Structure 1
Amino acid sequence: MSVAPLRLVRVRLARSHLAAPAIALIGGALAILPPAAGEGPPSHGPLPAEAVDAQDVITPVPSSLGADPDRVALGRMLFSDPRLSRGGDRACITCHDIRTNGASAVARNLTADGTPAPRNTPTAFNAALSFRLGWAGDIPSLPAQAEIALTKAEFLGGSWPSILAVVRGDPALAGPFQAAYGREADQAAVIDAINSFERSLLTPDSRFDRWLRGDVRALTEAERAGYALFQGIGCAACHQGVNVGGNLFEKVGIFVTLPNKTAAVLRVPSLRNVSVTAPYFDDGSVATLPEAVRLMARAQLGRELTDPQTAAIVAFLGTLTGTYEGRPLTPAAAAPQP
């Protein structure tokens, strides 16, 4: 099946504290694109000649977003503290396992009520680099996400009186909060501490990022061919920017209707660390990366990939796995839910 060329229409928007995005018409769907060249993050060093075209499409993950280390330390403790949940039996790390891939190995985690969550759990790694959060992109910011995660029944199901009682009543938390914020722990400070930790959950130093920075030997010839195919068939029209996605919306199933989708439009997911974050899609229905690649090419681009083409793109995607605290991310191990 032939595919008409993608039509990109850039419209500059008003500047805020972030660089101005642009609007694009991609496959008939309205999307928000990252800034054009010169408006995004600063350069990360010279690129090999063959990577010049990638400079405006994908940029390396930064090593830091400047989060305050004392607040990061507080957020790290809260991220793993089950006392913040309604039942005292789960924490953020229960579903977002930062010891492995920042998510979990199951299609849908269980809620605080013991029922499956509406959607697959996305990884917490690099979430701070996405312009919106959640599969539907309906969570506008990290503070909004933390509020939802802490208090909604399908997540921790806690309440602010009980959360603050735990924090204020624990000397290991109360004193550091006073030192870090100059006041007793309150709702805003708790959310900010968690967000500070989330902003530290970055996975720089993937092999692809090293290649972008000029290490011509970081990728094999087969992986470079996979990236060229990824660009050439149109994957990079939606999966671009620092998070290789996470910065625009897409119509789901442009050429082929996908079953069991709960929304017609979803946020384009990040492909950072995608080779270690199975299962895939918002319902967690696809178990392997080759299957996900083939289905996306069919549904979003109207293309039937051959096995060699699929393998080439999967090889490229494997180069997007970064490191956290000096170790590469790994797939999550299946574990019983609480």
Structure 2
Amino acid sequence: MRARRWRWACVALAVLTGAGLIWTRDGVGGAAAQLQPAGGAAVEPIVPLPAEPWLDEARVALGERLFHDTRLSGSGTLSCASCHDLASNGASAAALDIGDGGDRLGVNTPTVFNVAYSYRLGWEGRFRDAARHAAALIENPRIMGASLPTVVERLRADDAFAAAFRSAYGRTIDAANVVDALVEFERSLATPNAPFDRWLKGEADMLSEVEFEGYQLFKSTGCSSCHQGIAVGANLFQRQGVFRPLVPPPPDIVRVPGLRNVAATAPYFHDGSAATLAEAVHRMARAQLNASLSDEEVDKLVAFLGTLTGEYRGVPVRPAP
């Protein structure tokens, strides 16, 4: 009877912690018990990236060209790709990038990878709509420093570009289809095939023992309370510095960043003040969870976070040079 109660207690614990159990003939406990995804990711707080959505290839191609086009900036010297390097981490290595006016931006540039899975955009989550966000970045004098009418005028002067837009949209270039093409391209910037996604889908050998222990710490310490779902975050707001100061405000309230590819997106926090992922984990644990982690625990968490690194166009996401 006691053994039966123990098994049911373990099942209940597995449900509460989001872990699936694989049963052995020895029951649960000791070396005979292994935690693995049980029949998929349904019981885990993190969800694998879904299949790519249907996208209009012609519009994606136009959006990619626009993403790298300096005509979208007021000075004609910056493109979206100037701060969002798609050949590395979808952001940059700078704590604060330089805007079109030559001044440092107010916040660290977040990665553009997997942006389609963020329910709000920007560190303060001011934008729910991707189109409005793209337009605001173009017209922000501290970022791209242009205006959509000016951008449209420049692009219309390019006969080949104008013809491509007519083919894709059935009309000449205008502000709406410029923004739409950019958004369509952003929707394509998913980074699938992360080792952790493959583990969630049943490939048990994709995590090492240390990485698996890091994932258990991620859940038991409370990290997964805010970092969960498809983007491993990016779906709620949180006060920064709950128990101890984290980053000097403003803002006090931030959109919880997603953690996909986080091992490749240093520096961290909205001011770029954490140079390494280990430093960021230490600081986050103390400030947000009131937890003092040992170096060994941090190493395990960092090992797990490394398994969230996916691939863009078949190439693993890597840190910016």
Q: TM-score, normalising length from structure 1?
A: 0.82
The structure with the larger Rg is: 2
Letter of the structure 2 residue corresponding to residue 64 of structure 1:
E
Moved more, 195-204 or 168-177: 168-177
Q: Secondary structure of the equivalent of 1:240?
A: coil
Q: Secondary structure of the equivalent of 1:125?
A: coil
Q: Secondary structure of the equivalent of 1:51?
A: coil
Partner of 2:37: 51
Equivalent residues of 1:132, 1:141 under 8 A apart: yes
Partner of 1:119: 107
Within 5 A, what are the aligned runs for 1:1-338?
50-52=36-38, 55=42, 56-333=44-321
Deviation per CA, 1:5-34: give whole Å up to 9, x if none: xxxxxxxxxxxxxxxxxxxxxxxxxxxxxx
User: Structure 2 CA distance, aligned partners of 1:54 and 1:161?
Assistant: 46
Moved more, 235-244 or 52-61: 52-61
Structure 2, unpaired ranges of 5+: 1-33
User: Structure 1 CA distance, aligned partners of 2:163 and 2:68?
Assistant: 18
Letter of the structure 2 residue corresponding to residue 300 of structure 1:
Q
Equivalent residues of 2:37, 2:201 under 8 A apart: no
Q: TM-score, normalising length from structure 2?
A: 0.87
Letter of the structure 1 residue corresponding to residue 174 of structure 2:
D
Give the alignment's Cα RMSD to 1 decimal: 1.4
Q: Secondary structure of the equivalent of 1:217?
A: helix
Moved more, 205-214 or 171-180: 171-180
The number of residues matched between the two structures is: 286
Deviation at 1:49, TM superposition (A): 6.3
Equivalent residues of 1:63, 1:202 under 8 A apart: no
User: Structure 2 CA distance, aligned partners of 1:62 and 1:80?
Assistant: 27
Where do 4+ consecutive residues of structure 1 move more than 4 Å?
none
Structure 1, unpaired ranges of 5+: 1-47, 334-338
Identity %: 48
User: Structure 1 CA distance, aligned partners of 2:196 and 2:115?
Assistant: 19
Equivalent residues of 2:71, 2:155 under 8 A apart: no
Deviation per CA, 1:143-166: give whole Å up to 9, x if none: 011101111111111112221112
Letter of the structure 1 residue corresponding to residue 37 of structure 2:
A
